[in-house]
């Protein structure tokens, strides 16, 4: 079947205007833009929910912005935002709303989905979580033998892991230090073995997080955890003191053997990668306490309101989303690097990978028609300054254009000598070097021999955003999470895709299920795969059995 191709986006007047405009911009250097407007660094900025966004070091002019904003209007971004906030079924292939904004709505708000105001339900779950988290934190909730719970192990994968682990690491400064928090996601025994090493079952609580409660990796790990616990405690009654579940699927939770009284629910209108603010964030709440967790939700909510109500030319998620489209579709930049100059944000790039790439890595429009343009960029990154000593070489002097988001904080949570000034000096220096570079003439003027000048020069003109915040707090983390969520939504809206489904993960899952059966019964079922896959499976079994 020949796929039909959607060219509705690339036929839009604003798109054509941007294509023409790109021709006039592609060779313009940031050096020139800053020379023409010495105040540029104070003009191309926007601020909301404690985040100061400097987007002046982007290859744009006022005209670029005007055209990108026109594109947003032609794509009816405002109407799409309103539809999301009203709980309309914008996740069209799964026919449901994408209503993570309701997870951080204050009690006073009303958000009606299919005739039901969901805000009271959201707060009822948050209150139960707070009660449970407080009992764990102050030692009221004890294990089966009466021991205090000292280890919290989150079992989950994808959004049921990346959100909790990212937020725990990000807010570790605010966490209870006499409890241990561990995370098991991979169906690789190593992950389980290392997470449960040297901890006592009688002091351990497992939080099994799975929206569907059918995810193979999570169920395998949850079964292993149950065995690990019972090997020591020898009584299945112990399970109810050491396991809680977070899921939308009550039936599967009870089939697994977790008492549904120990279950925290959420709703099918919360996507996995958007679920940190639901009960999926329980481990984070236990770590940092209910008040800090609620402060994180407040940060999200402030950004939500900013996204909903601010004019687009001052709207952080809209500006960042449109800049991502500008580089992705006109400069052909395939990736974006996210570079937090904050060690606590070490898992933030990994979290953003799922958020962005699972949301917008789609090749058909909401109408099921093939796109004739690129969709999601590849997201990657590491905390600064470590990245500077590994991959920044390519960003500075490689042949690819890699727009970067630099994230920094004015106050450190761990003052130590001159460290923070050195750290931030590096952030500022990198954005300056990337933008302005160093010409061969400048290099030569320093006395560099001719033969080395080309190697030592920097073209510059590498675009960056800088997000500068006062301090890493639960509130500021929440604001950043919502900022990126809404930037992803902005991009998905321009590209006319459903940012809330993830059909691309299904084929691999189905094939793996079949292969598991074949590997378990190699004599009964002949491998019915291509010659490469079958040969690999045979070799795997031969060598595995040889070791046995």
- For residue 421, give the nearest of 406, 410, 405, 431 by alpha carbon: 410
Distance CA 50, CA 48 (A): 5
CB of 249 to ligand F6P, least distance (A): 8
Q: Are 113 and 97 in contact (CB under 8 A)?
A: yes
By the rule CB under 6 A, 96 interacts with ligand F6P: no
CB of 57 to ligand F6P, least distance (A): 34
**Which of residues 219 and 413 has its CB atom nearest to ligand F6P in the complex?**
219
The residue range among 5-13, 65-73, 155-163, 200-208 that interacts with ligand F6P, by the rule CB under 6 A, is: 155-163
Distance CA 329, CA 68 (A): 12
Tell me how far the alpha carbon of residue 384 is from its chain's centroid: 18
Q: Tell which positions 310-369 bind ligand F6P, by CB under 6 A.
A: 358
Cα dist from 57 to 71, 350, 381, 429, whole Å: 21, 25, 19, 13
CB of 246 to ligand F6P, least distance (A): 9
In the set 358, 382, 485, 496, the catalytic residue is 358
Q: Residue written as tokens 């009203």?
A: 86
By the rule CB under 6 A, 157 interacts with ligand F6P: yes
What is the residue-wise DSSP string for 360-386?
H--SB-TTS-EESS--PPEEE---TTG
Q: Residue written as tokens 């080395």?
A: 452
The residue range among 126-134, 152-160, 330-338, 466-474 that interacts with ligand F6P, by the rule CB under 6 A, is: 152-160
CB of 483 to ligand F6P, least distance (A): 20
Does 362 participate in catalysis according to the annotation?
no
Does 232 participate in catalysis according to the annotation?
no
Distance CA 133, CA 290 (A): 7
Q: Are 186 and 157 in contact (CB under 8 A)?
A: yes
By the rule CB under 6 A, 124 interacts with ligand F6P: no
CB of 363 to ligand F6P, least distance (A): 17
The residue range among 208-216, 224-232, 369-377, 467-475 that interacts with ligand F6P, by the rule CB under 6 A, is: 208-216
Q: Residue written as tokens 């799975």?
A: 210
What tokens were used for 102?
């309701």
The residue range among 13-21, 39-47, 210-218, 531-539 that interacts with ligand F6P, by the rule CB under 6 A, is: 210-218
For residue 388, the 8-state DSSP code is: G
**Exactly one of 6, 61, 210, 465 binds ligand F6P (CB under 6 A); which one?**
210
**Exactly one of 50, 97, 159, 290 binds ligand F6P (CB under 6 A); which one?**
159
**Which of residues 247 and 302 has its CB atom nearest to ligand F6P in the complex?**
247
What x/- string results for residues 487 through 506 when contact with ligand F6P is judged by CB under 6 A? ---------------x--x-
Per DSSP, the three-state class of 409 is: strand
**Exactly one of 21, 182, 273, 486 binds ligand F6P (CB under 6 A); which one?**
273
**Which residues share a beta bridge with 338?**
405
In the set 110, 234, 389, 506, the catalytic residue is 389
**Exactly one of 215, 278, 315, 457 binds ligand F6P (CB under 6 A); which one?**
215
By the rule CB under 6 A, 164 interacts with ligand F6P: no
**Exactly one of 87, 158, 321, 349 binds ligand F6P (CB under 6 A); which one?**
158
For residue 357, the 8-state DSSP code is: I
By the rule CB under 6 A, 281 interacts with ligand F6P: no
Cα dist from 465 to 26, 391, 433, 530, whole Å: 18, 18, 13, 46
CB of 350 to ligand F6P, least distance (A): 13
**Exactly one of 6, 154, 218, 329 binds ligand F6P (CB under 6 A); which one?**
218
**Which of residues 218 and 457 has its CB atom nearest to ligand F6P in the complex?**
218
**Exactly one of 32, 82, 212, 309 binds ligand F6P (CB under 6 A); which one?**
212
Question: At 339, which helix (H) or strand (E)?
Answer: strand 335-340
Tell me how far the alpha carbon of residue 511 is from its chain's centroid: 26
**Which of residues 212 and 386 has its CB atom nearest to ligand F6P in the complex?**
212
Residues in the chain: 548
What tokens were used for 316?
């952080």
Does 86 participate in catalysis according to the annotation?
no
Distance CA 386, CA 372 (A): 38
The residue range among 168-176, 209-217, 298-306, 525-533 that interacts with ligand F6P, by the rule CB under 6 A, is: 209-217
In the set 16, 363, 509, 544, the catalytic residue is 509
**Which of residues 82 and 212 has its CB atom nearest to ligand F6P in the complex?**
212
**Exactly one of 61, 64, 91, 160 binds ligand F6P (CB under 6 A); which one?**
160
Distance CA 320, CA 408 (A): 17
CB of 26 to ligand F6P, least distance (A): 37
By the rule CB under 6 A, 211 interacts with ligand F6P: yes
What x/- string results for residues 377 through 406 when contact with ligand F6P is judged by CB under 6 A? ------------------------------
Applying CB under 6 A, what is the total number of residues that bind ligand F6P? Answer: 14
Q: Are 192 and 224 in contact (CB under 8 A)?
A: yes
| Alpha-carbon torsion angle 309, 310, 313, 316, nearest 10 | -100
Q: Are 385 and 426 in contact (CB under 8 A)?
A: yes
Distance CA 271, CA 499 (A): 10
**Which of residues 50 and 164 has its CB atom nearest to ligand F6P in the complex?**
164
Q: Angle CA(370)–CA(373)–CA(378) in degrees, nearest 5?
A: 105
Distance CA 6, CA 344 (A): 42
Q: Are 279 and 129 in contact (CB under 8 A)?
A: yes
Q: Are 185 and 161 in contact (CB under 8 A)?
A: yes
Peptide bond into 307 cis (omega under 30): no
By the rule CB under 6 A, 272 interacts with ligand F6P: yes
Catalytic center residues: 358, 389, 509
Per CB under 6 A, residues contacting ligand F6P are 157-160, 210-212, 215, 218, 272-273, 358, 502, 505
């Amino acid at each position: 079947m020949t796929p039909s191709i959607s060219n509705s986006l690339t036929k839009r007047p604003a798109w054509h205007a941007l294509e023409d405009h790109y021709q006039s911009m592609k060779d313009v250097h940031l050096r020139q833009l800053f020379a023409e407007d010495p105040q540029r660094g104070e003009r191309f900025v926007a601020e909301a929910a404690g985040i100061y966004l400097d987007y002046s070091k982007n290859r744009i002019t006022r005209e670029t912005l005007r055209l990108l904003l026109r594109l947003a209007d032609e794509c009816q971004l405002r109407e799409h935002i309103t539809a999301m906030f009203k709980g309309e079924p914008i996740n069209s292939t799964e026919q449901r709303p994408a209503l993570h904004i309701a997870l951080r709505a204050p009690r006073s708000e009303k958000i009606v989905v299919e005739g039901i105001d969901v805000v009271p339900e959201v707060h009822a779950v948050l209150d139960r979580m707070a009660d449970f988290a407080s009992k764990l934190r102050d030692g009221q909730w004890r294990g089966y033998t009466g021991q205090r719970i000292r280890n919290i192990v989150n079992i989950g994968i994808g959004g049921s892991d990346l959100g909790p682990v990212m937020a725990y690491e990000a807010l570790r400064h605010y966490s209870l230090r006499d409890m241990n928090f561990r995370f098991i996601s991979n169906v690789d025994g190593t992950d389980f073995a290392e997470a449960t090493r040297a901890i006592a079952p009688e002091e351990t609580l497992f939080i099994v997080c799975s929206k569907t409660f059918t995810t193979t990796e999570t169920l395998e790990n949850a079964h292993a955890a149950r065995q690990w616990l019972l090997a020591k405690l020898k009584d299945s009654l112990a399970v109810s003191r050491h396991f809680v579940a977070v899921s939308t699927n009550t039936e599967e939770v009870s089939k697994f053997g977790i008492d549904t009284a120990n279950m925290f629910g959420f709703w099918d209108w919360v996507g996995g990668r958007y679920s940190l603010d639901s009960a999926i964030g329980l481990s984070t709440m236990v770590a940092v306490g209910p008040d800090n967790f609620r402060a994180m939700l407040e940060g999200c909510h402030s950004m939500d309101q900013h996204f909903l109500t601010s004019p687009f030319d001052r709207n952080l998620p809209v500006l960042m989303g449109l800049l991502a489209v500008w580089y992705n579709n006109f400069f052909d930049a395939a990736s974006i690097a996210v570079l937090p100059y904050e060690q606590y944000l070490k898992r933030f790039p990994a979290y953003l990978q799922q958020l962005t790439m699972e949301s917008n890595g789609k090749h058909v429009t909401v109408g099921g028609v093939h796109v004739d343009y690129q969709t999601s960029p590849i997201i990657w990154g590491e905390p600064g300054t470590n990245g500077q000593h590994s991959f920044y070489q390519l960003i500075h002097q490689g042949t690819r254009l890699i727009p970067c988001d630099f994230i920094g904080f004015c106050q450190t949570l761990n003052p130590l000598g001159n460290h923070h000034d050195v750290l931030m000096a590096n952030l500022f220096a990198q954005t300056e070097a990337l933008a302005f570079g160093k010409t061969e003439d400048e290099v030569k003027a320093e006395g560099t021999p001719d033969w080395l000048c080309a190697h030592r020069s920097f073209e510059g003109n590498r675009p960056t955003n800088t997000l500068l915040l006062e301090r890493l707090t639960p509130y500021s983390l929440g604001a950043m999470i919502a900022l990126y969520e809404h930037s992803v939504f902005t991009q998905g809206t321009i590209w006319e895709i459903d940012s809330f489904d993830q059909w691309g993960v299904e084929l691999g899952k189905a094939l793996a299920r079949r292969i598991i059966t074949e590997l378990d019964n190699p004599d009964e079922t002949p491998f019915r795969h291509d010659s490469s896959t079958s040969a690999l499976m045979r070799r795997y079994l031969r060598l595995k059995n040889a070791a046995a």
